Amino acid sequence: MKITEIEAIPFAIPYKKPLKFASGEVHTAEHVLVRVHTDDGLTGIAEAPPRPFTYGETQESIVAVISKVFAPQLTGLAPTAREAVHHRLNRTVGNPTAKSAVDMALWDIIGQSVGLPVTELLGGFTDRMRVSHMVGFAPPEQMVDEARRIRDTYGITTFKVKVGRRPFRLDVEACRALREGLGDEAELYIDGNRGWTASESARALRAMEGLDLTLAEELCPADDVMGRRWLVARTGIPFVADESATRPGEVTRELLGGSATAISIKTARTGFTYSQRVHHLCEGLGVEAVMGNQIDGQIGTLCTAVFGSAYELTARRAGELSNFLDMSDDLLAEPLRIEDGTLRVREGAGLGIALDPDKLARYRQDT
Protein backbone atom coordinates (compact mmCIF):
# COMPACT_ATOMS: atom_id res chain seq x y z
CA MET A 1 0.00 0.00 0.00
CA LYS A 2 1.42 3.38 -1.07
CA ILE A 3 0.41 7.02 -0.68
CA THR A 4 -0.84 8.33 -4.01
CA GLU A 5 -2.26 11.78 -3.19
CA ILE A 6 -2.60 14.24 -0.31
CA GLU A 7 -5.36 16.83 -0.46
CA ALA A 8 -5.41 20.03 1.62
CA ILE A 9 -8.88 21.58 1.38
CA PRO A 10 -9.52 24.95 3.07
CA PHE A 11 -12.95 25.40 4.62
CA ALA A 12 -14.60 28.05 6.78
CA ILE A 13 -17.46 27.66 9.27
CA PRO A 14 -18.59 30.61 11.45
CA TYR A 15 -18.69 30.34 15.23
CA LYS A 16 -21.97 31.09 16.97
CA LYS A 17 -20.14 33.72 19.00
CA PRO A 18 -16.55 34.98 19.08
CA LEU A 19 -14.21 32.96 21.30
CA LYS A 20 -12.01 35.35 23.28
CA PHE A 21 -8.86 34.67 25.30
CA ALA A 22 -5.62 36.42 26.25
CA SER A 23 -3.65 35.57 23.09
CA GLY A 24 -6.40 36.38 20.59
CA GLU A 25 -9.93 35.66 19.46
CA VAL A 26 -11.58 33.72 16.66
CA HIS A 27 -14.83 34.40 14.80
CA THR A 28 -14.68 31.72 12.10
CA ALA A 29 -13.17 28.23 12.00
CA GLU A 30 -10.91 28.70 8.98
CA HIS A 31 -9.47 25.18 9.00
CA VAL A 32 -7.97 22.75 6.50
CA LEU A 33 -9.35 19.30 5.76
CA VAL A 34 -6.55 16.84 4.98
CA ARG A 35 -7.23 13.66 2.99
CA VAL A 36 -4.53 11.11 2.24
CA HIS A 37 -5.28 8.61 -0.53
CA THR A 38 -3.63 5.24 -1.22
CA ASP A 39 -3.39 2.86 -4.14
CA ASP A 40 -5.54 0.38 -2.18
CA GLY A 41 -8.46 2.79 -2.29
CA LEU A 42 -8.26 3.78 1.39
CA THR A 43 -8.53 7.42 2.43
CA GLY A 44 -7.39 8.87 5.75
CA ILE A 45 -8.97 12.06 7.08
CA ALA A 46 -7.85 14.69 9.60
CA GLU A 47 -8.23 18.41 10.31
CA ALA A 48 -5.61 21.16 10.68
CA PRO A 49 -6.70 24.25 12.69
CA PRO A 50 -4.37 27.21 12.02
CA ARG A 51 -3.61 29.41 15.01
CA PRO A 52 -1.35 32.24 13.79
CA PHE A 53 -1.25 33.86 17.24
CA THR A 54 0.16 30.65 18.75
CA TYR A 55 2.10 28.74 16.06
CA GLY A 56 2.34 31.19 13.17
CA GLU A 57 0.39 29.00 10.75
CA THR A 58 -2.44 30.30 8.59
CA GLN A 59 -4.97 28.48 6.47
CA GLU A 60 -3.06 29.52 3.36
CA SER A 61 0.31 28.40 4.74
CA ILE A 62 -1.04 24.97 5.71
CA VAL A 63 -2.53 24.40 2.26
CA ALA A 64 0.72 25.53 0.61
CA VAL A 65 3.13 23.46 2.70
CA ILE A 66 1.04 20.29 2.37
CA SER A 67 0.41 20.70 -1.35
CA LYS A 68 3.81 21.99 -2.44
CA VAL A 69 6.22 20.44 0.07
CA PHE A 70 4.81 17.48 1.99
CA ALA A 71 2.74 15.79 -0.73
CA PRO A 72 5.67 15.47 -3.19
CA GLN A 73 7.92 14.17 -0.41
CA LEU A 74 5.47 11.54 0.84
CA THR A 75 3.90 10.24 -2.36
CA GLY A 76 5.03 6.67 -2.91
CA LEU A 77 5.76 5.93 0.76
CA ALA A 78 3.82 3.33 2.72
CA PRO A 79 1.45 4.81 5.34
CA THR A 80 3.00 2.44 7.88
CA ALA A 81 6.48 3.92 7.36
CA ARG A 82 5.86 6.52 10.06
CA GLU A 83 9.52 7.13 10.88
CA ALA A 84 10.35 7.71 7.23
CA VAL A 85 7.31 9.99 6.92
CA HIS A 86 8.35 12.12 9.88
CA HIS A 87 11.96 12.19 8.77
CA ARG A 88 10.78 13.84 5.56
CA LEU A 89 8.25 16.11 7.27
CA ASN A 90 10.89 17.32 9.71
CA ARG A 91 13.13 18.54 6.92
CA THR A 92 10.78 21.52 7.08
CA VAL A 93 10.83 23.39 10.39
CA GLY A 94 7.67 24.51 12.14
CA ASN A 95 4.23 23.85 10.59
CA PRO A 96 3.07 21.67 13.53
CA THR A 97 -0.63 21.45 12.72
CA ALA A 98 0.02 20.69 9.04
CA LYS A 99 2.37 17.85 9.98
CA SER A 100 -0.01 16.57 12.64
CA ALA A 101 -2.99 16.39 10.30
CA VAL A 102 -0.97 14.33 7.83
CA ASP A 103 0.17 12.04 10.65
CA MET A 104 -3.35 11.45 11.97
CA ALA A 105 -4.73 10.78 8.48
CA LEU A 106 -2.04 8.12 8.06
CA TRP A 107 -3.04 6.47 11.35
CA ASP A 108 -6.64 6.49 10.05
CA ILE A 109 -5.45 4.57 6.99
CA ILE A 110 -3.46 2.10 9.08
CA GLY A 111 -6.49 1.40 11.27
CA GLN A 112 -8.71 0.86 8.24
CA SER A 113 -6.15 -1.44 6.65
CA VAL A 114 -6.07 -3.81 9.66
CA GLY A 115 -9.73 -3.42 10.59
CA LEU A 116 -9.14 -1.86 14.03
CA PRO A 117 -10.02 1.46 15.65
CA VAL A 118 -7.06 3.80 16.03
CA THR A 119 -7.68 4.06 19.78
CA GLU A 120 -7.01 0.30 20.04
CA LEU A 121 -3.84 0.60 17.98
CA LEU A 122 -2.63 3.34 20.31
CA GLY A 123 -3.47 1.64 23.59
CA GLY A 124 -7.15 0.81 23.93
CA PHE A 125 -7.58 1.81 27.58
CA THR A 126 -11.22 2.90 27.25
CA ASP A 127 -13.76 3.96 24.63
CA ARG A 128 -14.74 7.38 26.02
CA MET A 129 -13.52 10.47 27.83
CA ARG A 130 -15.04 12.85 30.33
CA VAL A 131 -15.44 16.30 28.81
CA SER A 132 -14.15 19.67 29.98
CA HIS A 133 -15.71 22.85 28.62
CA MET A 134 -13.83 26.10 27.99
CA VAL A 135 -15.40 29.31 29.33
CA GLY A 136 -14.07 32.39 27.52
CA PHE A 137 -13.96 36.08 28.41
CA ALA A 138 -17.31 37.64 29.26
CA PRO A 139 -18.96 39.41 32.19
CA PRO A 140 -19.07 37.03 35.20
CA GLU A 141 -22.82 36.53 35.08
CA GLN A 142 -22.62 35.49 31.41
CA MET A 143 -19.80 33.06 32.14
CA VAL A 144 -21.86 31.48 34.92
CA ASP A 145 -24.94 31.28 32.70
CA GLU A 146 -22.94 29.54 29.97
CA ALA A 147 -21.38 27.05 32.38
CA ARG A 148 -24.76 26.21 33.89
CA ARG A 149 -26.29 25.73 30.44
CA ILE A 150 -23.47 23.39 29.43
CA ARG A 151 -23.77 21.47 32.69
CA ASP A 152 -27.53 21.12 32.47
CA THR A 153 -27.56 20.25 28.75
CA TYR A 154 -24.56 17.94 28.45
CA GLY A 155 -23.80 16.81 32.00
CA ILE A 156 -20.34 18.45 31.92
CA THR A 157 -18.98 19.33 35.36
CA THR A 158 -15.37 20.30 34.52
CA PHE A 159 -14.65 23.81 33.25
CA LYS A 160 -11.50 25.46 31.94
CA VAL A 161 -11.70 29.17 32.65
CA LYS A 162 -9.82 31.56 30.39
CA VAL A 163 -7.91 34.19 32.37
CA GLY A 164 -5.09 36.64 31.65
CA ARG A 165 -6.94 39.95 31.51
CA ARG A 166 -5.77 43.15 33.14
CA PRO A 167 -6.45 44.04 35.84
CA PHE A 168 -6.27 40.45 37.03
CA ARG A 169 -9.12 41.13 39.47
CA LEU A 170 -11.50 40.76 36.51
CA ASP A 171 -10.62 37.09 36.29
CA VAL A 172 -10.56 36.60 40.05
CA GLU A 173 -14.14 37.86 40.17
CA ALA A 174 -15.13 35.59 37.29
CA CYS A 175 -13.66 32.51 38.97
CA ARG A 176 -15.36 33.37 42.25
CA ALA A 177 -18.67 33.79 40.45
CA LEU A 178 -18.24 30.42 38.73
CA ARG A 179 -17.44 28.66 41.97
CA GLU A 180 -20.46 30.22 43.67
CA GLY A 181 -22.71 29.58 40.69
CA LEU A 182 -21.67 25.97 40.09
CA GLY A 183 -21.07 24.79 43.63
CA ASP A 184 -18.34 22.61 45.07
CA GLU A 185 -19.12 19.67 42.76
CA ALA A 186 -17.73 21.41 39.67
CA GLU A 187 -14.04 21.19 38.80
CA LEU A 188 -12.47 24.51 37.78
CA TYR A 189 -9.04 25.20 36.33
CA ILE A 190 -7.56 28.25 34.65
CA ASP A 191 -5.63 29.04 31.46
CA GLY A 192 -3.89 32.39 31.05
CA ASN A 193 -2.52 32.00 27.50
CA ARG A 194 0.61 33.88 28.65
CA GLY A 195 -1.45 36.99 29.46
CA TRP A 196 0.07 37.93 32.83
CA THR A 197 3.54 38.51 34.20
CA ALA A 198 4.87 36.09 36.81
CA SER A 199 4.15 38.55 39.62
CA GLU A 200 0.60 39.21 38.37
CA SER A 201 0.06 35.46 38.16
CA ALA A 202 1.24 34.98 41.74
CA ARG A 203 -1.07 37.72 43.00
CA ALA A 204 -4.00 36.26 41.05
CA LEU A 205 -3.41 32.78 42.44
CA ARG A 206 -3.23 34.14 45.98
CA ALA A 207 -6.51 35.97 45.42
CA MET A 208 -8.07 32.73 44.11
CA GLU A 209 -7.08 30.66 47.12
CA GLY A 210 -10.10 28.84 48.51
CA LEU A 211 -11.68 28.32 45.07
CA ASP A 212 -10.27 24.76 44.81
CA LEU A 213 -8.70 25.24 41.39
CA THR A 214 -7.13 22.03 40.09
CA LEU A 215 -4.72 23.31 37.39
CA ALA A 216 -3.11 26.54 36.23
CA GLU A 217 -2.02 26.69 32.59
CA GLU A 218 0.40 29.10 30.87
CA LEU A 219 -0.34 32.04 33.16
CA CYS A 220 2.85 33.83 32.09
CA PRO A 221 5.25 33.39 29.15
CA ALA A 222 7.78 30.58 29.33
CA ASP A 223 10.31 32.93 27.71
CA ASP A 224 10.31 34.85 30.99
CA VAL A 225 12.52 32.01 32.18
CA MET A 226 13.41 33.05 35.72
CA GLY A 227 10.00 34.56 36.43
CA ARG A 228 8.25 31.42 35.24
CA ARG A 229 10.43 29.17 37.39
CA TRP A 230 9.91 31.47 40.36
CA LEU A 231 6.13 31.28 39.86
CA VAL A 232 5.94 27.52 39.39
CA ALA A 233 8.04 26.89 42.51
CA ARG A 234 5.47 28.85 44.53
CA THR A 235 2.33 27.44 42.94
CA GLY A 236 0.46 24.85 45.00
CA ILE A 237 -1.39 23.22 42.09
CA PRO A 238 -0.03 21.57 38.92
CA PHE A 239 1.25 24.22 36.49
CA VAL A 240 0.52 23.13 32.92
CA ALA A 241 2.78 23.84 29.95
CA ASP A 242 0.75 24.06 26.77
CA GLU A 243 1.97 26.24 23.91
CA SER A 244 5.42 26.35 25.53
CA ALA A 245 5.79 22.57 25.20
CA THR A 246 4.83 21.66 21.65
CA ARG A 247 7.53 19.03 21.03
CA PRO A 248 9.08 16.25 23.13
CA GLY A 249 12.28 18.26 23.58
CA GLU A 250 10.35 21.27 24.84
CA VAL A 251 8.39 19.05 27.22
CA THR A 252 11.63 17.74 28.70
CA ARG A 253 13.09 21.24 28.96
CA GLU A 254 10.06 22.77 30.66
CA LEU A 255 9.66 19.93 33.16
CA LEU A 256 13.31 19.43 34.10
CA GLY A 257 13.92 23.18 34.15
CA GLY A 258 11.14 23.74 36.69
CA SER A 259 8.94 25.79 34.36
CA ALA A 260 6.00 23.36 34.50
CA THR A 261 4.74 20.41 36.52
CA ALA A 262 2.13 19.09 34.07
CA ILE A 263 1.66 18.97 30.28
CA SER A 264 -1.20 19.64 27.87
CA ILE A 265 -1.19 17.21 24.95
CA LYS A 266 -2.86 18.46 21.77
CA THR A 267 -3.15 16.07 18.85
CA ALA A 268 -3.70 19.10 16.58
CA ARG A 269 -0.02 20.00 17.02
CA THR A 270 1.67 16.64 17.75
CA GLY A 271 -0.58 14.22 15.85
CA PHE A 272 -0.73 10.70 17.22
CA THR A 273 2.93 9.77 16.72
CA TYR A 274 4.48 12.66 18.64
CA SER A 275 1.63 12.79 21.14
CA GLN A 276 2.62 9.23 22.03
CA ARG A 277 6.15 10.42 22.71
CA VAL A 278 4.94 13.29 24.86
CA HIS A 279 2.64 10.92 26.76
CA HIS A 280 5.45 8.48 27.41
CA LEU A 281 7.67 11.29 28.68
CA CYS A 282 4.96 12.41 31.10
CA GLU A 283 4.40 8.87 32.28
CA GLY A 284 8.09 8.22 32.73
CA LEU A 285 8.69 11.48 34.58
CA GLY A 286 5.63 11.05 36.77
CA VAL A 287 3.73 14.19 35.77
CA GLU A 288 0.08 14.71 34.95
CA ALA A 289 -1.23 15.23 31.43
CA VAL A 290 -4.44 16.81 30.18
CA MET A 291 -5.85 16.52 26.67
CA GLY A 292 -6.09 20.05 25.33
CA ASN A 293 -8.07 21.51 22.45
CA GLN A 294 -6.96 23.80 19.63
CA ILE A 295 -10.52 25.09 19.17
CA ASP A 296 -10.94 22.07 16.93
CA GLY A 297 -13.95 21.16 14.90
CA GLN A 298 -15.58 17.78 15.28
CA ILE A 299 -12.90 15.95 13.30
CA GLY A 300 -10.13 17.33 15.48
CA THR A 301 -12.17 16.77 18.63
CA LEU A 302 -12.69 13.13 17.69
CA CYS A 303 -8.93 12.75 17.20
CA THR A 304 -8.34 14.20 20.67
CA ALA A 305 -10.81 11.75 22.20
CA VAL A 306 -9.28 8.83 20.29
CA PHE A 307 -5.84 9.55 21.70
CA GLY A 308 -6.94 10.53 25.19
CA SER A 309 -9.06 7.42 25.67
CA ALA A 310 -6.19 5.16 24.57
CA TYR A 311 -4.14 5.68 27.75
CA GLU A 312 -4.86 5.53 31.46
CA LEU A 313 -2.84 8.70 32.15
CA THR A 314 -4.75 10.89 29.70
CA ALA A 315 -8.12 9.32 30.52
CA ARG A 316 -7.85 10.25 34.19
CA ARG A 317 -8.74 13.87 33.57
CA ALA A 318 -11.54 15.38 31.54
CA GLY A 319 -10.42 16.26 28.02
CA GLU A 320 -11.15 19.59 26.35
CA LEU A 321 -13.66 18.21 23.87
CA SER A 322 -16.52 20.68 23.61
CA ASN A 323 -15.27 23.66 21.59
CA PHE A 324 -17.10 22.34 18.54
CA LEU A 325 -20.36 23.22 20.29
CA ASP A 326 -19.59 26.86 19.51
CA MET A 327 -19.43 26.19 15.75
CA SER A 328 -22.55 26.85 13.69
CA ASP A 329 -22.06 23.64 11.68
CA ASP A 330 -19.47 20.96 10.87
CA LEU A 331 -18.43 18.47 8.19
CA LEU A 332 -19.28 15.11 9.76
CA ALA A 333 -22.18 13.10 8.38
CA GLU A 334 -22.98 11.96 11.92
CA PRO A 335 -22.28 14.74 14.45
CA LEU A 336 -20.49 14.04 17.71
CA ARG A 337 -22.64 13.76 20.81
CA ILE A 338 -21.75 14.57 24.39
CA GLU A 339 -23.94 12.63 26.80
CA ASP A 340 -23.70 12.45 30.61
CA GLY A 341 -20.55 14.54 30.44
CA THR A 342 -18.67 12.07 28.22
CA LEU A 343 -17.74 11.69 24.55
CA ARG A 344 -17.35 8.23 23.05
CA VAL A 345 -14.98 7.38 20.23
CA ARG A 346 -16.40 5.92 17.05
CA GLU A 347 -16.68 2.20 16.52
CA GLY A 348 -15.20 0.65 13.43
CA ALA A 349 -11.86 0.69 11.70
CA GLY A 350 -9.61 3.75 11.68
CA LEU A 351 -11.03 6.97 13.10
CA GLY A 352 -14.59 6.25 11.97
CA ILE A 353 -14.89 9.56 10.11
CA ALA A 354 -17.55 9.94 7.43
CA LEU A 355 -17.92 13.36 5.81
CA ASP A 356 -21.14 14.98 4.64
CA PRO A 357 -20.34 15.80 0.99
CA ASP A 358 -22.96 18.54 0.80
CA LYS A 359 -21.50 20.35 3.81
CA LEU A 360 -17.99 20.04 2.46
CA ALA A 361 -19.14 21.52 -0.83
CA ARG A 362 -20.87 24.36 1.03
CA TYR A 363 -17.96 25.38 3.26
CA ARG A 364 -14.84 24.66 1.21
CA GLN A 365 -13.00 27.76 0.08
CA ASP A 366 -11.08 26.49 -2.97
CA THR A 367 -13.93 26.22 -5.46
Q: How many residues does the chain have?
A: 367
Cis peptide before 167 (omega within 30 of 0): yes
Catalytic residue chosen out of the listed positions 30, 108, 191, 200:
191
For this structure, is 288 an active site residue?
no
Catalytic residue chosen out of the listed positions 30, 103, 250, 266:
266
305 φ/ψ sector (left φ>0, alpha ψ -120 to 50, else beta): alpha
- Given the DSSP bridges, would you call strands 288-291 and 319-320 parallel, antiparallel or unpaired? unpaired
For this structure, is 294 an active site residue?
yes
Catalytic residue chosen out of the listed positions 57, 171, 187, 217:
217
For this structure, is 365 an active site residue?
no
Catalytic residue chosen out of the listed positions 242, 243, 254, 330:
242
CB 98 within 8 A of CB 62: yes
| Nearest to 187, CA basis, from 156, 210, 218, 162 | 156
For this structure, is 145 an active site residue?
no
Catalytic residue chosen out of the listed positions 108, 112, 162, 218:
162
CB 258 within 8 A of CB 38: no
Residue 30 CB partners (closer than 8 Å, separation 6+)? 10, 11, 12, 50, 59, 365
Buried b (16+ CB within 10 A) or exposed e, 112-150: bbeeebbbbbbbebbbbbbbbbbbbbeebeebbebbeeb
For this structure, is 223 an active site residue?
no
For this structure, is 242 an active site residue?
yes
155 φ/ψ sector (left φ>0, alpha ψ -120 to 50, else beta): left
Active site residues: 162, 191, 217, 242, 266, 294
